[in-house]
Amino acid sequence: MTQRGQQRGQRGQRGSAVSFTGAVRTYGAVRAVDGVDLDIAPGETVALLGRNGAGKSTTIGLLLGLYEPDAGAVELFGAPPERSVRAGRVGAMLQDARPVPRVTVGELVTFVASRYPAPMPVARALELAGIAGLAGRRVDRLSGGQVQRVRFALALAGDPALLVLDEPTAALDVEARHAFWDSMRAYARRGHTVLFSTHYLEEADAHADRIVILDRGRIVADGTGEDLRRAAGGNLVGIDLAGRDPDSLALLPGVRSVDVQDGRALLRTDDSDATVIALAELGAIRGLEVTPASLDDSFLALTAAGPETLTESHDLEPR
């Protein structure tokens, strides 16, 4: 059985860690979250992607009980979010948290850990966050990257069953980003559930069991990185147009879309072999290049899709 199949089995046996059922959150005429259905099994690591304004922050706010849904329901471990948060089962690292003045890193993490019923040892939280050497430093005198790692330590302090990370590697340099993901994976391996949002698509591809893409407040895709690449068209075929009508290329076998730039056509195709054979029959393989679609390509294709395509791309793999 695959890892995702095992996780579905866990969900059936032990319930969901995170459950959204038709969740809606509006701001005036804007539906920031528009009927979201999402189920995350205990022990899964899930990445939440979307353009600015896609609804990621509101979704996280609903998950943490910071907002109430206008319709539908949100549950954590079978209970309302606020109950799970109060019980110490959730740790969160949010973007808008501000440094507390005149306290040291060690004092702050110790205080937060003391609010939880079964906290992680402070030394362990500092070590996982890569800031053991900063315990005696004042939080308000740290660099942006160091403050980000303090936020991670605070999220870990309660040893929560669910860890929610909003843009966790923002302000971190490359070395610190690698160290962060090493720590996050070590935490996840202990059976914890992790949900993180990020603008770094390669991070989602490398570190998440599933990737959920939000657009216009709705889930437009949910699957592995490979699932997403297939859903958006598995390969890209590029040719020099050489005066050829690009509209005719859209009718070729396997082709989903055609993009024209600087005299070249880029064909997104489900069947690159069939597409190339058809191009050869037309004598149109000048400057031929075939490449796999990247996750960036897939993300752009999925979030550029109109509402009519949402039901087609949402469920990339049966659950």
For 206-215, how does the pLDDT look when each residue is reduced to its tens digit (9 = 90+)? 999 999 999 9
Mean pLDDT of the chain: 89
**Rounded distance between C-alpha atoms, residue 300 and residue 128, angstroms:** 34
Question: Residue 293's pLDDT band (boundaries 50, 70, 90)?
Answer: confident
Backbone φ/ψ region at 65: left (φ over 0), alpha (ψ -120 to 50), beta: left
For 217-258, how does the pLDDT look when each residue is reduced to its tens digit (9 = 90+)? 999 999 998 888 877 767 899 999 998 999 999 999 999 889
The backbone torsions φ and ψ at residue 96, rounded to the nearest 5 degrees and listed phi first, read -95, 10
Query: Is the Cβ–Cβ distance between 174 and 120 less than 8 Å?
Result: no
CATH topology of domain 233-292: Alpha-Beta Plaits (3.30.70)
Name the pairing type of β-strands 90-93 and 162-166: parallel
Share of the chain above pLDDT 70, in %: 90
Instruction: Tell which residue, 115, 92, 123, 94, has the closest CA to residue 194.
Output: 92
Domain boundaries, the chain: 233-292
pTM: 0.80
3-state SS string for 102-149: CCEHHHHHHHHHHCCCCCCCHHHHHHHCCCHHHCCCEHHHCCHHHHHH
